[in-house]
Amino acid sequence: MSFETMKVAELREVADAFGVDYSQAKTKKLLIAALAEEGVTVDQYQKFVDAEKVETEAPEEAPKKKVATGPEILVKMNRANPTYEIKGHRFTREHPYIAMSQDEAQEIFDYDPRGFTIATPKEVQEYYS
């Protein structure tokens, strides 16, 4: 498989999955060049697809709602993903901040310590102002 054999719509999905900006890529060649510029390879994409297959093959469990324990804190997503769902919370580029219990935040930090940080109320207020 190579990016050259993929359709433009498929290449856009690849770009979205890896957080690659392709707004200036008007042709298939420019889209492939944008992926290459960001270091996205066919091997990486194949690993991503294989990982998603494993996730979808596993039986889905209903997300468990946790009762908030203790005070809430603000968590910010630093990942390049357009959207990211974890532990029942949905982060997006437009809304990267979510208030949650300290226990939930700790689980997220334990799972992906580089993709999330604690945010201050002032930071959130300035972002949404």
Predicted confidence at residue 76, as pLDDT, reads: 93
Name which of 30-34, 66-70, 101-105 the model is least confident about: 66-70
In a domain, 65, yes or no: no
pLDDT at position 65 over 80: no
In a domain, 66, yes or no: no
My answer on whether 76 and 49 are in the same domain is no
DSSP string, 46-81: HHHHHHHHHHHHSPP-PPPPPPP-S-EEEEEE--S-
My answer on whether 79 and 53 are in the same domain is no
My answer on whether 53 and 78 are in the same domain is no
pLDDT at position 69 over 70: no
Instruction: Give the model confidence (pLDDT) of 84-99 as tens digits.
Output: 898 888 999 899 999 9
pLDDT at position 38 over 70: yes
Q: Domain range for residue 124?
A: 72-128
In a domain, 102, yes or no: yes
What's the whole-model pTM score? 0.45
**Domains of the chain: total:** 2
My answer on whether 79 and 124 are in the same domain is yes
In a domain, 67, yes or no: no
In a domain, 63, yes or no: no
Q: Residues 62-87: what's their mean pLDDT?
A: 77
pLDDT at position 75 over 90: yes
In a domain, 84, yes or no: yes
My answer on whether 76 and 114 are in the same domain is yes
Report which of 27, 79, 51, 55 is spatially closest to residue 3, judged by C-alpha positions.
27
In a domain, 50, yes or no: yes
